Amino acid sequence: MRKSIILLASVLAIVFFASSVSAAVQYETVVTWGVNFRDQPTISGYKYRMIPKGERIHVIEKVNSGWLKIQVQDGTIGYISAKSKYTSSLSTRDKLVSTAKSYIGDFKYRWGAEPWTTNYQYTDCSAYIELVFRNHGMDLSRSSRTQSKEGVYVSRSNLSKGDLVFFDTNSDGTINHVGMYIGDNQFIHASPSFNGVGISSLSGFWSRTYVTARDVLR
């Protein structure tokens, strides 16, 4: 019985470790045509499965003109054809959205908190946005008010993925909240309403308290 418990604990630890590693990876490339996923960069390699169109993968490196070394979302590493018809890299804006979504469930909300000073347990709205952009080599200022002065103004009708959206949730004339637009009239943000990171629609309360938007990629 004791051996069974130890074995189960070991298996769970391995699964947890694998899922944690997998979650940290950004799956920046989209499969655009079904492609065989193999254990070696050769057509004689063992085929794990066929990766279907639409699945996102992480390209580790281009091995040679014929093969890509990749990681799929369960953590498995292998090889696929390097022919351009099989994959398409996401745009910078799509990568930002992908990174932002990857943090859902990772933090609890705490005003004034920063992930990098709380062992990645807590964040507030502006620190979360700063972290997302840091992952892509872009530096933003620390508060929602100062972030609202970066980049260039974007009208609400012309919002694009990756644009920052700002709010005055206290209706006192001062910007105090920020999120990132992800398309389809939705934005992602760290908020007390989720006690962490989540996705909201730019309607109702968030429409009434919306102030402005900035494109910090230009």
Active site residues: 125, 177, 189
Please enumerate in sequence order all residues whose Cβ is within 8 A of that of 192, keeping only pairs 6 or more positions apart, or say none: 109
Tokens for 25?
A: 């990876």
Half-sphere exposure of 59 toward its Cβ, with a 13 Å CA cutoff? 19
CA gap 163, 183 in Å, rounded: 10
Query: Dihedral (C-alpha) 189, 132, 104, 157: value to the nearest 10 degrees?
Result: 40
SS3 61: strand
Write the DSSP symbol of residue 161: T
